[in-house]
Amino acid sequence: MKQGTALLEVLRNWQEAYRLRWKRRRLLWRSFRSRHQLECVSDRTEVIPKNPILCFATMRDEMLRLPYYLDHYRCSGVSHFFIVVNDSSDGTEEYLKQQSDVSVWTTDASYRESRFGVDWLTWLQIKYGDGAWCLTADADEILVYPYSEQRSLRDLTEWLDQVGAPAFGALMLDMYPRGAIGDQEYSPGDDPFETLNWFDGEGYTWERLARYRLISIRGGPRKRLFFKDNPDHAPHLHKVPLIRWSRRYAYISSAHIVLPRHLNSVFDAREQLPTGVFLHSKFLGEVIQKSVEEKQRKQHFTHSGRYQSYYNRLIENPDLWCKSSQAYEGWEQLESLGLMTRGKWD
């Protein structure tokens, strides 16, 4: 009886692996077709050095964040940026075209129908990222990791190579001010986390999802305030943003889930791998006007109907701070709270 049960389990696992392999092939084919939607307006790939660390992002109207974003990742060790500018009108494209380490593509195609930009970025990763360490980071995501004040992404990726780890995980941590979000001042180039210097230090849930061999993480102010009645609708916070890329790889949903699924084991404590945190600057004051726009565009979420009340609350200029909020102090604080770990990296 036990032998029959074991054989049945092996068969189920084989069938699931087979289905996911075909799913990955379909995603890669989608990405290949999406290349026709992209127009390269600034190709500086000839300056990419050997053994680079590459950064990929899709952006729309991000001039407020761009100067700090680029400076941060340059200082962290990124060699070159691949940016897709989607239907932007605030000077983002013009600014990026002036940067010597940025290659730029533009498109007016639907962000939602491109799987929120994933199809476009996967095509660029296939073409330029095969074999390289590739970081996928939105304009409002600033990566911190163990020893990030002293060690570069190069140090991190060299260690990951040494231990045979092909990927690195990061929890997306929503940062916010004390006081109404629309009442805070911020200028391009400033550190956004001097304005958004608070976060939820507790209240996170970690759930293992067997199909993709990942740990799903939810929490933070969006779950606490906007989705408290429907916590399963709160945004996922787990990401696999840094991968030693292969042209056979494909993200399923943003950088939250990737195939092959062994890459998703980055949060498994048994692996004893370091993990990081994306400091998320979504709640700068401009989020109010952007919420008005996105409520109409309906381009940002798979189930956009669930997020109408979320946008309504943001438009009301809320104060996300609460008595249990914690002021940000650095990566060691985040490790002490269990939001990141150094694993075996010392």
Distance of alpha carbon 109 from alpha carbon 112, whole angstroms:
9
Q: What is the pLDDT of residue 147?
A: 97
In one-letter notation, the amino acid at residue 12 is R
User: Of 119, 96, 115, 79, which Cα lies nearest the Cα of 40?
Assistant: 96
User: Of 174, 195, 31, 52, which Cα lies nearest the Cα of 116?
Assistant: 31
In one-letter notation, the amino acid at residue 308 is Q
Measured between alpha carbons, how far apart are the two ends of the chain, in Å? 47
In one-letter notation, the amino acid at residue 69 is Y
Q: pLDDT tens digits, the chain, 346 residues: what are they?
A: 566 676 666 677 778 888 999 999 999 999 999 999 999 999 999 999 999 999 999 999 999 999 999 999 999 999 999 999 999 999 999 999 999 999 999 999 999 899 989 999 999 999 999 999 999 999 999 999 999 999 999 999 999 999 999 999 999 999 999 999 999 999 999 999 999 999 999 999 999 999 999 999 999 999 999 998 888 889 999 999 999 999 999 999 789 999 999 999 999 999 999 999 999 999 999 998 888 887 676 555 555 566 778 888 899 999 999 999 999 999 999 999 999 999 999 9
Distance of alpha carbon 188 from alpha carbon 318, whole angstroms:
23
User: Of 139, 115, 128, 153, which Cα lies nearest the Cα of 245?
Assistant: 128
Spatial CB neighbours of 111, under 8 Å, sequence gap ≥ 6: 58, 60, 86, 87, 117, 299, 300
User: Of 210, 198, 204, which Cα lies nearest the Cα of 280?
Assistant: 198
SS3 274: coil
Q: What is the pLDDT of residue 290?
A: 86
Contact 226, 309 (CB under 8 A): yes
SS3 234: coil
Q: What is the pLDDT of residue 12?
A: 72
Distance of alpha carbon 194 from alpha carbon 16, whole angstroms:
46
List own/partner pairs for 147-152 with CB under 8 A and 24 or more apart: 147/331, 147/342, 147/345, 148/76, 148/276, 148/331, 149/330, 149/331, 152/76, 152/77
Distance of alpha carbon 32 from alpha carbon 163, whole angstroms:
32
Spatial CB neighbours of 297, under 8 Å, sequence gap ≥ 6: none
Q: What is the pLDDT of residue 311?
A: 85
User: Of 243, 287, 55, which Cα lies nearest the Cα of 133?
Assistant: 243
Which DSSP symbol is given to 132?
Answer: S
